[in-house]
């Protein structure tokens, strides 16, 4: 299950944790956004011949959050080709 789908599902463990531990989060986000100047998001401009793998960014963030919320001392998961240590 992806991080986005867990956040979209109000009954997911992550959504319930956020609702319990951060009950005023929506108000805080709205107040913060109200203080920011309105402007377009910055987007990196890759070279013309390169198509970035944008999904990899989401996967990396998802993995990092799952690791941060886990109770494991070290990350687990697949090892990359030629790697002797798990990918973190």
Structure confidence by residue, pLDDT tens digits, 2-46: 788 888 999 999 899 999 999 998 899 899 888 888 777 777 788
* Mean pLDDT, residues 49-59 taken together: 84
HEC profile of the chain: CCHHHHHHCCCCHHHHHHHHHCCCHHHHHHHHHHHCCCCCCCCCCCCCCCCCCHHHHHHHHHHHHHHHHCCCCCCCCCECCCCCCECC
pLDDT of residue 75: 57
Domain chopping of the chain, boundaries = 1-37
Q: pTM above the 0.75 mark?
A: no
């Amino acid at each position: 299950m992806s991080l986005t789908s867990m956040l979209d599902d109000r009954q997911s463990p992550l959504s319930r944790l956020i609702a319990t531990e951060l009950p005023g989060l929506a108000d805080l986000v709205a107040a913060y956004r109200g203080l920011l100047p309105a402007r377009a998001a910055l987007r990196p401009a890759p070279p013309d011949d390169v198509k970035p793998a944008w999904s990899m960014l989401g996967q990396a963030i998802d993995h990092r959050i799952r690791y941060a919320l886990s109770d494991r001392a070290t990350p687990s998961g697949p090892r990359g080709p030629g790697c002797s240590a798990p990918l973190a």
